Amino acid sequence: MNITVIGSGTMGNGIAHVFAQNNYKVNVVDVKADALEKAKATISKNLDRQVAKGSISEEIKASTLANLTFVDNLSIGAADADLVIEAATENVNVKLDIFRSLDSICKPSCILASNTSSIPITKIGSVTNRPDKVIGMHFMNPVPVMKLVEIIKGFKTSAEVADTIVALSKKIGKVPAVANDMPGFISNRILMPMINEAIETLFQGIGGVEEIDTVMKLGMAHPMGPLQLADFIGLDVCLAICNVLHEGFGNPKYAPCPLLVNMVTSGSLGVKSGSGFYDYSGGGKELVVASQFK
Ligand code: NAI
């Protein structure tokens, strides 16, 4: 089975790494040559870390790298694919354009999967002539470490395609969980309202940043507090997903907290911008509450 991964950013390079390590030939496609270079370096560095920990051998590292081809042209990269996994930027128009192109480039039997966090799979499938073969394959970050793959069945996804993707996920050592195509699927339907409520709790002055995260870590056994997790995900991403839930269900309970909106508007996006609920200007080794919340 030939795999093509589209988008070689945070998620794309992890997805490519896992398939290549499990003996699949993988073409990695990106529109940006520097993103492909960076992905190659990241995968190599992550494999070195696995070798150093003794979880893989030097031979596995070499065979993983040999299974990967980096291509900057979609027509070349996807022509022979049996499965394409799209992990390009979370923008609906970008994704619809990619799927329209894939539908004409790929073999009729090829399954087209998206790693989207929030865009409806049914909408993506509707721009192709094969909505029965379009499915969500939602990996978690960091992909080589996280076991879960949330598999999303669009309204027209066939049972056979869903079964194939469930079996394949197990084959690469992941644990699949199947969801129907509703806003936020399972993962973000539950996670984002919790994060939004944590922000609302801060906004209403019920607790400070440290108190909120401490309650959830020590009281609920979460490995990371919801505000720290929001910083890691990216506050812009959290806001976008809250908006998808709010618009998709038309229910005010999903409305994003005004504090979240303000933080994103002002450019406080979490780890990627250097500050969110915590300050990362010192490299993030020590958790320091951002000055606005002290
Ligand atoms: P990213 O910004 O790190 O990488 C996206 C890559 O897609 C970039 O290298 C960009 O050059 C490339 N790209 C953009 N348009 C393209 C096109 N037309 N053809 C080929 N490549 C193109 O983004 P990230 O974080 O890897 O997210 C990718 C997808 O995964 C999104 O749909 C996101 O919602 C989803 N996701 C992200 C998670 C995360 O924690 N970052 C977790 C789970 C899902």
Q: What is the atom index within ligand 1 of the atom nearest the CA of 89? A: 5
Q: How far apart, in whole angstroms, are the C-alpha atoms of residue 68 and residue 17?
A: 8
Query: Residue 94: how many CB atoms within 10 A of its CB?
Result: 15
pLDDT score, position 171: 98
The full 3-state SS of 260-277, as one line of letters, equals HHHHHHCCCCEHHHCECC
CA dihedral 67, 26, 136, 38 (to 10 degrees): 90
pLDDT score, position 282: 87
pLDDT tens sequence across 176-195: 999 999 999 999 999 999 99
pLDDT score, position 18: 98
pLDDT score, position 90: 87
Structural domains of the chain in order of their starting residue, each with its CATH number? 2-180 (3.40.50.720), 189-293 (1.10.1040.10)
Residues 102 and 133: beta-carbon distance below 8 Å: no
Give Cα separations from 128 to 106, 116, 125, 234, 271 (angstroms).
11, 17, 6, 31, 36
Q: Is any ligand 1 atom within 6 A of the Cβ of residue 94?
A: yes
Q: Is any ligand 1 atom within 6 A of the Cβ of residue 270?
A: no
Cα(50) to ligand 1 centroid in Å equals 24
| Residue 188 known to be catalytic | yes
Give Cα separations from 115 to 5, 55, 60, 63 (angstroms).
10, 26, 26, 25
DSSP H helix total and E strand total for the chain: 13, 10
For residue 133, the 8-state DSSP code is G
| Residue 8 known to be catalytic | no
pLDDT score, position 285: 80
- Contacts for 67 with CB less than 8 Å, ≥ 6 apart: 19, 20, 21, 23, 24, 25, 26
Q: Which of 17, 101, 117, 237 to mutate to test the pocket of ligand 1 (most atoms within 8 A of CB)?
A: 117
pLDDT score, position 234: 92
pLDDT tens digit at each of 294 positions of the chain: 999 999 999 899 999 999 999 999 999 999 999 999 999 999 999 999 999 999 999 999 999 999 999 999 999 999 999 999 999 998 899 999 999 999 999 999 999 999 999 899 999 999 999 999 999 999 998 999 999 999 999 999 999 999 999 999 999 999 999 999 999 999 999 999 999 999 999 999 999 999 999 999 999 999 999 999 999 999 999 999 999 999 999 999 999 999 999 999 999 999 989 999 999 998 878 899 999 999
Q: Is any ligand 1 atom within 6 A of the Cβ of residue 191?
A: no
Cα(4) to ligand 1 centroid in Å equals 14
Cα(6) to ligand 1 centroid in Å equals 8
